[in-house]
Amino acid sequence: MASQESIQPAEVRQELIKVYPPKVARKRAQQILVNERQEDGTALTIAANVRTTPGIITQRGCTYAGCKGVVLGPTRDIVNITHGPIGCGFYSWLTRRNQTRPPTNEHDNFMTYCFSTDMQEENIVFGGEKKLRAAIQEAYDLFHPKAIAVFATCPVGLIGDDIHAVAREMKEKLGINVFAFSCEGYKGVSQSAGHHIANNQLFKHVVGRNDEVGPGRFRFGLLGEYNIGGDAFVIDDLLERCGITLVATFSGNSTIDKFENAHTADLNGVMCHRSINYVADMLEKRYGIPWIKVNFIGAEASAKSLRKIAQFYGDEGLAQQTEQVIAEETAKVVGIRDEIRARCRGKRAMLFVGGSRAHHYQDLFREIGMETVAAGYEFAHRDDYEGRHVLPTIKVDADSRNIEELKVEPDPEKYRPRVSGEAARRLESAGYRFKDYDGMMLDMPEKTLIVDDISHYETERLIEIYRPDVFCAGIKEKFAIEKMGVPSKQLHSYDYGGPYAGFRGAVNFYRDIDRMVNTRIWSMIRPPWDQTGPALEASYGNE
C-alpha cells in the first residue's frame, strides 16, 4: 500500500463504498465523510442514527443494552430485573466494567448479582407476567431493596406482557418504588434509543422525589459519567478537593437516593452528551438547573472543565482552590506526558466507539503527540458529530418517533432559576456557553475520515490502508484487529484497566498507549494479506 503521507482520504472513502450495491453505497456515502469545514465554518452533514443495512456487520448494541446496561446498570442499590431469556441478563451483567463503592458493607450493592426472570418457551407461549410478578416478590423477600426496576427484552414486547401494570401492582403491594422500562432490543436502531427510554422513566419515576437540600455551597450534578474502570472515583475526588459538592451522578457510583435528589443541584455538567442530554434538558425545563458540557478525559480537558464549573459559581475562594488543585495535578502529569510524547509523537490512532468516547479520547492522544486519522461513533446522532446547532434540522423518522418525547413544564413549586438573566449574560459575554456542544467533527482536522456505524469490512480495509499504530474499539473488534498486527485498545471496558479520567487517569492512559504502540511484538505478526507461506511454521526441537 502507499506510504502514509500519500494516502488520499477521498480515495479511501471510495474504496470503502465501492463494494456495496448501489442503494447501500448511496447510504454509506452519507455516513462516510472526509472531514472539512463548509464555507460558513460548520461541519458537513452526516447521516447518523439511521438503521444499519441488514447483512452488514455492525458493532452496535441494542436498545435494552443502552437502557439497562448503560444508564441503569451502574446504580448499586436498585434491583434491576431483566424480564427475558437468560442471555440478555447475563451479557449485560457489568461486574467487570462499571465500579461502585458503597460506604460500608452494610449498604446495598446489587451490582454483583444478575437478576432475570429466565423466560422459557412456556412463558413465551402463555405469557410471562406471572413469572415477573413472582420474580419481583422473590427479589423483595430476599433483599428488601429501596427500588426494583424491570427491563423488557425483545420477546416481552413481541408477546405483549404489560410490565408497567405489573410494576404498578407490585409497587402498591410492596410499598417500594417499582418501575419498568419498555426497552425491547428492537425498539430503536441502536442502544441510543435505550438511553432515551431510561432517561424518560428515571425522570417520571425517580427524579424529584426528595427535596431536601443537603450541605454544600457549590452544588453540582454530573451527567453521563458511568464509572468505567473507576473514572467516577477520580472525578469525585477532584471535585471534592476543589470544594464542589457532587449532588448526583447519572449514573456512575450512584444510588437511587442521589437520583431522587438530583434536582437540588445548581449546575449540571454533561460528560456523555449522547446518553444523557435528555435528563439535562428536562432538569433545566422543570427545575431551572442550567447545564454545560464538560469533559474529564484528558488532563487539559479536565483542567478546563474544573475551571468552567468553578466559574459558574462566581466565588473567589472556589476559583483559587480549583486553581490550586489543577496546579498540583498538572505537576504530576507533565513530566510523564513529555517523556511519553517523545516516544509517541507522530503515531496514528483510529477511534470507533459508542457515542462520545470517539471524540473525548482524541484529547488524550493529542497530549502525547498522536494524531487521530479516522474516527466515528457507533450510534451517536448528528448533534454529537456536527454540534447542537443542527438540532432543529434533524429529521424525525419512524424510528425516533417510536420513542416517547416527554412534555416537561416548569414545576409550579420547585422551579427556581439558578442564574439571573443578568448573571447569565455576564458569564456568556466572558465566553461561557450554556447548553452547548460543538460535536466531534469541528474538533478534528480536515482530511480526517469520519465513519458512522463502521462495519467490520470497513474496519479491515481502513487497517490495511492506513496501518494505524493503535485502533480503539470494543471487544467485538479487538481480536480481529490484533490478528492483523495492530494493537487494539478497548475504550468501553478499558481492557479492565483504568481509570482514564482526570489527571491521574490521563497518566494511566499515556502509559498504556505507550506500551501498546511501542512494543515490537506487533511487527512479528504477519497480516493475512501479506502471507505467502503458511501463517505459522514450526520444526522439531531436535532437528
What torsion do the CA atoms of 319, 322, 323, 328 make, to the nearest 10 degrees? 160
Instruction: Choose the catalytic residue: 96, 430, 520, 538.
Output: 96
- State in angstroms the smallest separation of the CB of 354 from ligand CFM: 2
Residue 135 contacts residue 119 (beta carbons within 8 Å): no
Catalytic residue among 43, 48, 62, 506: 62
449 secondary structure, DSSP code: E
CB of 227 to ligand CFM, least distance (A): 9
Q: Using CB under 6 A as the criterion, which residues of the chain lie in contact with ligand CFM when the complex forms?
A: 66, 70, 191, 224, 226, 228, 272, 274-275, 353-357, 492
- Whichever of 178 and 440 has its CB closer to ligand CFM, that residue is 440
State the nearest-atom distance from the C-beta of 490 to ligand CFM, in Å.
9
The CA distance from 99 to 102, in Å, is 10
- As given in the structure block, the three cell numbers for residue 455 are 462495519
Which amino acid appears at position 398 of this protein? A
Nearer to ligand CFM, 81 or 270 (CB): 270
If phi over 0 gives left and psi between -120 and 50 gives alpha, with beta otherwise, what is residue 36? beta
Output 87 or 214, the one with its CB closest to ligand CFM: 87
Q: Which own/partner contact pairs does 304-312 have at CB distance under 8 Å and 24+ positions apart? A: 305/269, 306/238, 306/239, 306/242, 308/269, 308/432, 309/220, 309/239, 309/242, 309/244, 309/267, 309/269, 310/218, 310/242, 310/244, 311/427, 311/430, 311/432, 312/266, 312/267, 312/419, 312/427, 312/432
Q: Which residues contact 397 (CB under 8 A, 6 or more apart)?
A: 50
* DSSP reduced 3-state for 245: strand
First to last CA, the chain: 38
Instruction: Please report, as a single letter, which amino acid is at residue 515.
Output: R
**Among 38, 41, 39, 16, residue whose Cα is nearest residue 30:** 16
Write the DSSP assignment of 257-310 as a string of letters.
Answer: HHHHHGGG-SEEEESSHHHHHHHHHHHHHHH---EEE---BSHHHHHHHHHHHH
96 belongs to the catalytic site? yes
Cell of 458: 470497513
If the CB atoms of residues 242 and 440 are measured against ligand CFM, the closer one turns out to be 440
- For ligand CFM, the closer of residues 161 and 236 by Cβ is 236
**Residue linked to cell 430476599:** 142
Least spacing, CB of residue 322 vs ligand CFM, in Å:
25
Question: Torsion angle, CA of 363/369/370/371, rounded to 10 degrees?
Answer: 70
Pick the catalytic residue: 48, 65, 88, 501?
Answer: 65
In this structure, the number of other CB atoms found within 10 A of the CB of residue 13 comes to 18
User: Toward ligand CFM, which CB reaches closer, 65 or 119?
Assistant: 65
Compare residues 494 and 522 and give the one whose CB is closer to ligand CFM: 494
156 contacts 167 by C-beta, under 8 angstroms: no
Is 504 one of the annotated active-site residues of the chain? no
Report the nearest approach of ligand CFM to the CB of residue 80 (Å): 15
Q: Which is nearer to ligand CFM, 9 or 355 (CB)?
A: 355
**Is 389 among the catalytic positions?**
no
Instruction: Count CA within 13 A, CB hemisphere, residue 471.
Output: 29
- Contact between 343 and 518 (Cβ < 8 Å): yes
**Catalytically active residues, by annotation:** 62, 65, 96, 195
